[in-house]
Chain A
Amino acid sequence: MPDRITRADVQHVATLARVALTDDEIDHLTGELGAILDHAAQVSALDTDGVPPTAHPLPLANVMRADTVHPSLDRDEVLGQAPAAEDGRFRVPRILGEAP
Chain B
Amino acid sequence: MSEYETVIGLEVHCELATATKLFCSCRNEFGAEPNTNTCPVCLGLPGSLPVLNERVVEYALRLGEALQFEMPAQSIFHRKNYFYPDMPKDYQVSQYDEPICVNGALDLGDARIGIERAHMEEDTGKSLHVGGGGRIHDADHSLVDYNRAGVPLMEIVSRPDIRGAEQARAYVTELRAVLETIGISDVKMEEGSMRVDANVSVRPNNREELGTKVEVKNMNSLRSLGRAIDYEVERQIGLLDSGERVVQETRHWNEEAGRTDGMRSKEEAFDYRYFPEPDLVPVRPTDEMRAVALASVPELPAARRDRLATEWGISEQDARVLTGVSGLAEYAEQAVAAGGAAKDVVNWCTGDLLGYLNETGLAPGALPLAPDGLAELVALVADGTLSRGLAKDVLNECLAEPKRPKQVVEERGLAQVSDEGELGSVVDGILAANPDDVAAYRAGDDKARKKKRGFLMGEAMKAMKGKGNPQLLNRLLDERLEP
By the criterion CB–CB under 8 Å, are B276 and A89 in contact?
no
Report A84-100 CB contacts with B as 1/0, cut-off 8 Å.
00111111111111111
Please report the C-alpha to C-alpha distance between residue A64 and residue B52 in the assembled complex, in whole angstroms. 5
Please report the C-alpha to C-alpha distance between residue A90 and residue B76 in the assembled complex, in whole angstroms. 32
By the criterion CB–CB under 8 Å, are A86 and B143 in contact?
yes
Please report the C-alpha to C-alpha distance between residue A15 and residue B267 in the assembled complex, in whole angstroms. 10
Tell me the nearest residue of chain A to B271, going by C-beta. Answer: A16
Report A59-85 CB contacts with B as 1/0, cut-off 8 Å.
011111111111011010011000000
Tell me the nearest residue of chain A to B217, going by C-beta. Answer: A98
Please report the C-alpha to C-alpha distance between residue A69 and residue B27 in the assembled complex, in whole angstroms. 6
Please report the C-alpha to C-alpha distance between residue A73 and residue B144 in the assembled complex, in whole angstroms. 16
By the criterion CB–CB under 8 Å, are A98 and B144 in contact?
no
Candidate in A15, A69, A75, A90 with the most chain B CB atoms within 10 angstroms: A90
CB distance from B191 to the nearest CB of A (A): 18
Please report the C-alpha to C-alpha distance between residue A90 and residue B413 in the assembled complex, in whole angstroms. 62
CB distance from A90 to the nearest CB of B (A): 4
- Chain B residues with CB below 8 A from A79, complex form: 35
CB distance from B249 to the nearest CB of A (A): 12
Tell me the nearest residue of chain A to B35, going by C-beta. Answer: A75
Partner of A67, one of B55, B128, B271: B55
Q: Identify the stretch in B134-142, B345-353, B392-400, B404-412 within 8 Å (CB) of chain A at 4 or more residues.
A: B134-142
- Chain A residues with CB below 8 A from B286, complex form: 62
Report B408-437 CB contacts with A as 1/0, cut-off 8 Å.
000000000000000000000000000000
- Does B95 interact with chain A (Cβ within 8 Å)? no
By the criterion CB–CB under 8 Å, are B85 and A88 in contact?
no
CB distance from A91 to the nearest CB of B (A): 6
Partner of B142, one of A67, A73, A94, A100: A94
Scan residues 305-344 of chain B and give those whose CB is less than 8 A from a CB of chain A.
Answer: none
Please report the C-alpha to C-alpha distance between residue A55 and residue B74 in the assembled complex, in whole angstroms. 14
- Does B84 interact with chain A (Cβ within 8 Å)? yes
By the criterion CB–CB under 8 Å, are B127 and A72 in contact?
no
- Chain A residues with CB below 8 A from B38, complex form: 72-73, 75, 78
Please report the C-alpha to C-alpha distance between residue A75 and residue B146 in the assembled complex, in whole angstroms. 11
CB distance from B129 to the nearest CB of A (A): 8
Tell me the nearest residue of chain B to A93, going by C-beta. Answer: B141
Please report the C-alpha to C-alpha distance between residue A99 and residue B103 in the assembled complex, in whole angstroms. 28
Please report the C-alpha to C-alpha distance between residue A61 and residue B284 in the assembled complex, in whole angstroms. 6
Task: Indicate whether A67 sits within 8 Å of B53 (C-beta atoms), given known contacts A72-B26, A87-B143.
Answer: yes
- Chain A residues with CB below 8 A from B27, complex form: 69, 72
Please report the C-alpha to C-alpha distance between residue A69 and residue B19 in the assembled complex, in whole angstroms. 7
By the criterion CB–CB under 8 Å, are B86 and A99 in contact?
yes
By the criterion CB–CB under 8 Å, are A92 and B144 in contact?
yes
- Chain B residues with CB below 8 A from A20, complex form: none
Partner of A70, one of B25, B57, B142: B25
By the criterion CB–CB under 8 Å, are A99 and B124 in contact?
yes
- Chain A residues with CB below 8 A from B19, complex form: 67-69
Partner of B283, one of A62, A65, A96, A97: A62
- Chain A residues with CB below 8 A from B402, complex form: none
- Does A58 interact with chain B (Cβ within 8 Å)? yes
By the criterion CB–CB under 8 Å, are B85 and A95 in contact?
yes
Please report the C-alpha to C-alpha distance between residue A94 and residue B36 in the assembled complex, in whole angstroms. 23
Please report the C-alpha to C-alpha distance between residue A47 and residue B208 in the assembled complex, in whole angstroms. 40
Please report the C-alpha to C-alpha distance between residue A69 and residue B36 in the assembled complex, in whole angstroms. 13
By the criterion CB–CB under 8 Å, are B26 and A98 in contact?
no
Task: Indicate whether A100 sits within 8 Å of B270 (C-beta atoms), given known contacts A68-B20, A89-B145, A93-B141.
Answer: yes
Report B254-273 CB contacts with A as 1/0, cut-off 8 Å.
00000000011110101101
- Chain B residues with CB below 8 A from A91, complex form: 141-144
Candidate in A63, A86, A98 with the most chain B CB atoms within 10 angstroms: A98
By the criterion CB–CB under 8 Å, are B281 and A61 in contact?
yes
By the criterion CB–CB under 8 Å, are A61 and B268 in contact?
no
- Chain A residues with CB below 8 A from B294, complex form: none
Please report the C-alpha to C-alpha distance between residue A87 and residue B142 in the assembled complex, in whole angstroms. 11
- Does B82 interact with chain A (Cβ within 8 Å)? yes
- Does A56 interact with chain B (Cβ within 8 Å)? yes
CB distance from B61 to the nearest CB of A (A): 12
- Does B33 interact with chain A (Cβ within 8 Å)? yes
Partner of A96, one of B35, B87, B137: B137
Please report the C-alpha to C-alpha distance between residue A70 and residue B146 in the assembled complex, in whole angstroms. 17
By the criterion CB–CB under 8 Å, are A61 and B86 in contact?
no
Q: Show 27 residue pairs from A and B whose CB-CB distance is below 8 angstroms, ordered by the A residue.
A: A16-B268, A55-B276, A56-B276, A56-B281, A58-B281, A61-B284, A62-B281, A63-B51, A64-B51, A65-B51, A65-B54, A67-B20, A67-B53, A69-B20, A69-B25, A69-B27, A72-B26, A75-B35, A90-B35, A94-B141, A95-B127, A95-B136, A96-B137, A98-B217, A98-B250, A98-B263, A100-B270
List 18 additional A-B contacts (Cβ < 8 Å) besides A61-B284, A75-B33, A88-B33: A58-B281, A60-B281, A61-B281, A61-B282, A64-B51, A69-B19, A69-B26, A73-B38, A73-B43, A86-B143, A89-B145, A90-B146, A91-B142, A92-B141, A92-B144, A99-B124, A100-B84, A100-B250
